[in-house]
Amino acid sequence: MSIFNTKNNPVRIAKRIVNALFPRHCVFCSLPSQRDYHVCHHCETLLPELKTACKCCGLSLPSNQSGLICGQCLKTPPHFDRTYALFPYQLPLSHLIKQMKFHHTLLYAELFGELICTQLNGWYDKEPLPQAILPVPLHQQRLRQRGYNQAIEIAKPIKHHCKLPLLKTICHRHRATQAQSDLKMNQRKQNIAGAFQTLAPLHYQHLAIIDDVMTTGHTVNELARVLKSAGVARVDVWCVARIQ
């Protein structure tokens, strides 16, 4: 059952009224979505699906290995414990992500946050949800250039709909790094090392990092390392798209 469909929820009732007055439109076909979020049922069925994946790093696995951990994670376990991705990094999602990230189309960030909310009951059907969400921090310089942190924009609907605390100030990116996408795979780990720092004591046992695209995983791995050294026991990653 979707978190959006929780019965007798006053927020849900208020949303129904707002949606009736101001219907949401599908970002793909522009028709009223007839739902609480910005994609209609038909267009959602056309989106690429993430098939069987390593439950630790989210990389694809053969279909008979559902729920397993890949050889790489077994050999060198990352600092994060789980990866949940909405989609593989493919069109049309890759286009939406670029629009969100580089062209201020924050409506797509809202949609991605909403879609993550719809998946949480499935992702956490056998275990408790993380206690709070932490968007991957941007360096101050990048934040000034872009004007927003897209990971925070994705996290806002999750905070709103799922009532999970959104941690924006407990950790920061104190070193300006080159964009990971500009670097070769083998340079990315070195580029991100030591980039994050916690600013306050962490009283959480279980956190989820929010990111837009997970490529090599070096960024979230470094952030998870810092969070764990600050006392967090378990760190999950929720991302919009996983590059396979």
Nearer to Zn ion, 26 or 208 (CB): 26
Smallest gap from residue 43 Cβ to Zn ion (A): 3
User: If we measure between CA atoms, which residue out of 46, 47, 25 comes closest to residue 35?
Assistant: 25
Q: Return the residue of 11, 29, 176, 200 that touches Zn ion, per CB under 5 A.
A: 29
Structural tokens at position 218: 């070096």
- Is 70 a binder of Zn ion (CB under 5 A)? yes
Smallest gap from residue 187 Cβ to Zn ion (A): 21
Q: Could you give the CA distance from residue 184 to residue 207 in angstroms, rounded to a whole number?
A: 29
- Is 56 a binder of Zn ion (CB under 5 A)? yes
- Is 74 a binder of Zn ion (CB under 5 A)? no
Place of tokens 């090392």: 193
Nearer to Zn ion, 25 or 168 (CB): 25
Q: Return the residue of 50, 54, 214, 237 that touches Zn ion, per CB under 5 A.
A: 54
- Is 207 a binder of Zn ion (CB under 5 A)? no
- Is 86 a binder of Zn ion (CB under 5 A)? no
Smallest gap from residue 210 Cβ to Zn ion (A): 19
Q: Which stretch binds Zn ion (CB under 5 A): 27-35, 84-92, 189-197, 234-242?
A: 27-35
Place of tokens 């008979």: 64
Q: Which stretch binds Zn ion (CB under 5 A): 29-37, 113-121, 157-165, 213-221?
A: 29-37
Q: Which stretch binds Zn ion (CB under 5 A): 39-47, 109-117, 157-165, 179-187?
A: 39-47
Nearer to Zn ion, 171 or 213 (CB): 213
- Is 85 a binder of Zn ion (CB under 5 A)? no
Give CA 199 to chain center in angstroms.
22
Q: Return the residue of 28, 87, 108, 204 that touches Zn ion, per CB under 5 A.
A: 28
Smallest gap from residue 31 Cβ to Zn ion (A): 6
- Is 26 a binder of Zn ion (CB under 5 A)? yes
Using CB under 5 A as the criterion, which residues of the chain lie in contact with Zn ion when the complex forms?
26, 28-29, 40, 43, 54, 56-57, 70, 73
